Structure 1
């Protein structure tokens, strides 16, 4: 899992990038939770989403938003972070000019950023939004949502309550030409404490449906206990 540094709008950005083994493989960009609440690219959910796409032959990139880890700059309330994400996707595409498609996955705050990037990049053909904070951030820009994707949330999430996520999804489901799937994890809170395995089952089932099953999944190396205390 090579460490990478690439240029962003506010200076260098720190990431982890794994190239695909095959040419024309799609790209996946994974976005982490809120920087001001401990969110980093080493968040346990982000880490496992990274491997979920790696196992399907994607070129995968996760990175730290500005002001996190070794990434330069400072928190910019979403506007700068969206620019960071666009730069990250540009960088991954520069290494993979023949990539046939792109997916975006985001966790909490990262889901909000990811959905905004989705609206700006027509090459994105799928998304996964984990615990989207529909009560805390404005998702009205999804009019209409240009790609099909999956929302995953816990029924015990008090940070991003299920009723708000459900309201967002119902609005998106009325649009023609896209399919919005939803998975609700029983007993899961905003951090999916003790429920990450269940989360990954749902994510992988969705990717199987969209992309086909994987033949020989690669086990993710052990990750140190996460320090993220993301609240959005």
Structure 2
């Protein structure tokens, strides 16, 4: 893999990120953008779930992009409770679409918890993405999401014992979506998905390859 550290602007703030591309495979490559969990609870682009998604996707021939939301790590700006963060994801999508070798018709976006919430709230801004994967999506955000009327393929991953994003509640909410998503419940896992990161990554990549 070829790894490049990048900086890009989003609504006046300079954000940091990392893009990886396959070096033994000729393009164009499908790509995935991975969005981290809540920065107030130590979420960042290097957290285990995000790293696992990018690692497995990279091994499968995908280009990957991860970045720190505004006010996180080396990214400038102030955390905005998801409001301005929608622009961060849109800006990341613009960056990866311009990156050499990327298949612009096969760009997916994944998000973990807060990252999933930002994706759901900003779905209308992300028209150029073709698939979404949401890991431990907050139920309230899922209830109010623009994705409820969207036709694009959607994957939901939750831990069997997750008390913040209970599988039964998610199943009920997402069953009302125009295009019901694929749902993966990870046996024995809680919200942190500690020890199950590889399964998360494999599930996401299998979904993207279908």
Give the TM-score normalised by the residue count of structure 2: 0.87
Check whether the contact 1:150–1:182 (CA below 8 A) recurs between aligned residues.
yes
Match of 1:83 among 79, 83, 87: 87
May I ask how many residue pairs the two structures share in their alignment? 205
What are the ranges of 5 or more consecutive residues in structure 2 without an aligned counterpart?
A: none
RMSD: 2.1
Check whether the contact 1:12–1:71 (CA below 8 A) recurs between aligned residues.
yes
More displaced stretch, 98-107 vs 145-154: 98-107
Higher strand fraction (1 or 2): 2
More displaced stretch, 62-71 vs 82-91: 82-91
Shift of 1:138: 4.8
Match of 2:156 among 136, 151, 165: 151
What are the ranges of 5 or more consecutive residues in structure 1 without an aligned counterpart?
A: 211-232
More displaced stretch, 163-172 vs 104-113: 163-172
Check whether the contact 1:118–1:146 (CA below 8 A) recurs between aligned residues.
no
2:188 maps to 1:187: yes
Match of 2:104 among 88, 99, 111: 99
2:162 maps to 1:171: no
More displaced stretch, 154-163 vs 192-201: 192-201
Shift of 1:79: 1.0
Check whether the contact 1:10–1:66 (CA below 8 A) recurs between aligned residues.
no
Q: 1:12 to 1:148 in 2, by over 3 A?
A: same
Check whether the contact 1:28–1:61 (CA below 8 A) recurs between aligned residues.
yes
SS at match of 2:130: strand
Equivalent position of 2:14 in the other structure: 12
Q: 1:198 to 1:51 in 2, by over 3 A?
A: closer
Deviations 1:91-110 (A, max 9, x none): 11122476332101110110
